[in-house]
Amino acid sequence: MAPKAIDIFNNIHKDEFQRENNQDKILNLSNKMKNEFSRSDITIYLCLIKALADIGIFSISQSMVQQIPSSYLSDYRIQNSLISMWGKTGSMDEAERIFKTVSQLDHIGYTAMINSYGLNGMSMQAVELFRKMPKEFIDESAYVCVLNACSHSGLVAIARSIFNNISIKTDIIYTTMIDCLSRAAVFDEAQQLIDQFEHDHMPVWSMYMALLSGARNEKNANLSQNIFDRMKKHFPELKSSLVSASILLSNVYASTGDHEKASNIRMELEKSGAKKKVGLSITEIDGKILQFRAHDQSHPRSADIYIEADRISQELIEYGHKYDSSWITRPLQPDETIESVLCGHSERLAIAAHFIDNRKPKIIQITKNLRVCGDCHRVTKIIAALRQCEIVVRDANRIHHFYTNGQCSCNDYF
């Protein structure tokens, strides 16, 4: 029974950001559960919850969880998985409710709750729960989750204190602390940690990526180039992995206005045959999961979506928003404008789709596989306020709750 469950999960996971019309597989899964699996087999439900967590859409998760037999909902393994799932869908009330009723609270439950707080910008709650966690439950995962929570909110001093009190520091723990420092632009200390680690260990790719990401956030081209050069020296065999680092470096140069260097890097990538990860956003409307790429026109109602996107753009301009060209990572084509390029980002099309036919949604939820850009972040705050609609966006790093007062749960630290 377990292999069959895992097979269905793998099919769902593969569909998540790669295929069109994956909503049919997701929404019909409950029928498969009823028809093909024994009620005594918990594996299918654990796989289902994991798949729903990866998708991250509350409405879909809610409808599917209702199909789980009530006898399983009191099982601590299901409860731990649900804490993680609700956290990843941005439903912290549900995550907290289940955490308080877990029948056998263990290190997995604590860690899932700490991670959920961190993802949703509730970093102090994550730290407080970590401090209450029984000592025997604290392991590498717990340290990583609490340090990651600090990283998402810039709690550098707290993260530093926790890190310094860890007796056995693994490469993952080091990487998370380096990420925290890099996000806060404390680059000297971050590089010192890398040097400290490499005194007794081989270089680790993820540490340099954390440092490079921080330098990209600060638009620090010199530091970014230095980090990239060190990566090429340390990891010459990881040519495919250097693609993501090259794209980050290209984006840094583009953000500083040096489009020539940015273009040269991208041309080298194209010559090498490397493929850039396609940015995708998914959302749910009327029970269907819709998927959008940047400048996507594959939706049957693309014309209406673009009309609504233009309408939203005019509202933004009237509000006083000025589109930020530093987030455009390539030269404009003759028929393009700064506005048209930025308004074609996948999450903006997903947002516009919710407002066609004069719809007035109270909440919009989007999951995307890349980090939200700075212009999209500012724009989404304004849209939430102008349209009086809460917008929840889970990107590659965290969950952003854009409230109707024009604020975001990340406090613009992302």
Amino acid 29: pLDDT: 57
Least confident among 120-124, 140-144, 247-251, 255-259: 255-259
What is the residue type of 215?
A
pLDDT digits (tens, 9 = 90+) for 171-220: 999 999 999 999 999 999 999 999 999 999 999 999 999 999 999 999 99
The helix (H) or strand (E) run that includes residue 283 is strand 280-285
The band of 1, judged by pLDDT with boundaries at 50, 70 and 90, is very low
Best CA proximity match to 283, nearest among 296, 264, 274:
296
What is the residue type of 189?
E
What value does the mean pLDDT take over residues 159-172?
98
Q: Are 38 and 54 a contacting pair, CB within 8 Å?
A: no
The helix (H) or strand (E) run that includes residue 393 is strand 390-394
Strand order in the sheet with 390-394: 288-293, 280-285, 363-368, 390-394, 399-402
**What string of DSSP letters covers 149-174?**
HHHHHT-HHHHHHHHHT-SS--HHHH
Average per-residue pLDDT for the chain:
90
Helix, strand and coil percent figures for the chain, each rounded to 5: 60, 5, 30
pLDDT digits (tens, 9 = 90+) for 314-337: 999 999 999 998 888 888 888 899
User: What is the DSSP secondary structure assignment for residue 237, as one 8-state letter?
Assistant: T
* Cβ neighbours of 260 (radius 10 Å): 11
